[in-house]
Structure 1
């Protein structure tokens, strides 16, 4: 197994994008192996690399890690992005789960039938404004970070989620000044700034090619 960190996924965002963000924030270089045909996925199954027959798969420190939350917990713990104690870790987990729920809504909307697309987008916008963003705005009321006095995975995930929201709803943060200021601070961090530059491993919004590839490779999930 390679000593380098290797990501096995599609050439697109999906469940791997938050992992890419976290590795970038930690300053960890990684390689990517893109699944473009169903045979690639079947080979990973046959090799026993996918514990629950699911991707993402990340090769790191001699391990084959699956399940996105487990992967991100490991990365955050290894690279000091997981708070100073168990209490901070619990808070980080709560914020991270919230951003994950929001990002999952956006991810799944890509696969919605055209006739349901607008309904899903309206649902995302409403939940973002009423359920998620107020929590993060309050969390940033008296601190530069969501938890404690240093960068954590919660902050990285929030930046990713809010940038994704703005791609769909450009003015959605207009009534959330703390989050806007937070975005500015985060974007100024050298590692984050590098990841936001053209040519980085950050993936663009999903297009028809990405959706088609996912459906072909994971055809058993779309029957």
Structure 2
């Protein structure tokens, strides 16, 4: 039996969370080693596993993988979440690039200085409501496909759901003006592997808390 993928990251969401989502959507069980000290992080750097000195780090299929986008592209191709042809793939890439910008704003918000946080969160919500969510509502409007891209569940669906849930953690009623996205959220959330990942006790990580933020700062910024 092949070894399970092993993920090395801080004990929180960050850039690793989308990787967890793809593995979970594929029904792939994985192990995690949490980096909680500077020494653990430096050990990964010294042994050459961090090609560019950065996590996420994933060991799977006999490979040592770094760089988030490369890892996500590999997983999407491996588990057939990347469309049926080049035209579907480029649409998937457009949509995930759009959601990634929104998600990175949310991921980085907890690391802002306290006096900046309120303004940052307000800016995120304004952009979500006027730029990103309207774009996806428009895409879903009579586009004649079963999923965001084509008639098969793809990486674009997984990442859009992840982004929607992150925004809803900031404002639970954010989809009130986006009925098609609300239907989309319900539909994708009920795909069996996704539904399992959303249950309590899964390897999905909670919103970042003070301990996680302090840990990342202490390890990476020392």
TM-score range normalised by the length of the shorter chain: over 0.9
Gaps of 5+ in 2: none
Match for residue 177 of structure 1? 179
Runs of 5+ unmatched residues, structure 1: none
Q: SS state of the match for residue 65, structure 1?
A: strand
TM-score, L = length of structure 1? 0.96
Distance 2:72 2:203 in 1: 17
CA RMSD of aligned residues (A): 1.0
The alignment covers a number of residue pairs equal to 219
8 Å CA contact retained: 1:56, 1:67: yes
Distance in 2, Cα, partners of 1:25 & 1:139: 23
Instruction: Spell out, residue by residue over 1:129-185, the C-alpha distance to the aligned partner (whole angstroms, 9 max, x if none).
Output: 111111111122233311111110010000000001001111111100011000110
Matched ranges for 1:109-188 at <5 A: 109-142=109-142, 143-188=145-190
Between the aligned partners of 1:4 and 1:19, the Cα distance in structure 2 is: 14
Distance across 1 between alignment mates of 2:112 and 2:214: 13
Q: Name the counterpart of 1:216.
A: 218
Match of 2:90 in 1: 90
Structure 1 segments (4+ residues) deviating >2 Å: none
Q: 1:16 is matched with which residue?
A: 16
Distance apart, 1:25 and its partner CA: 0.6
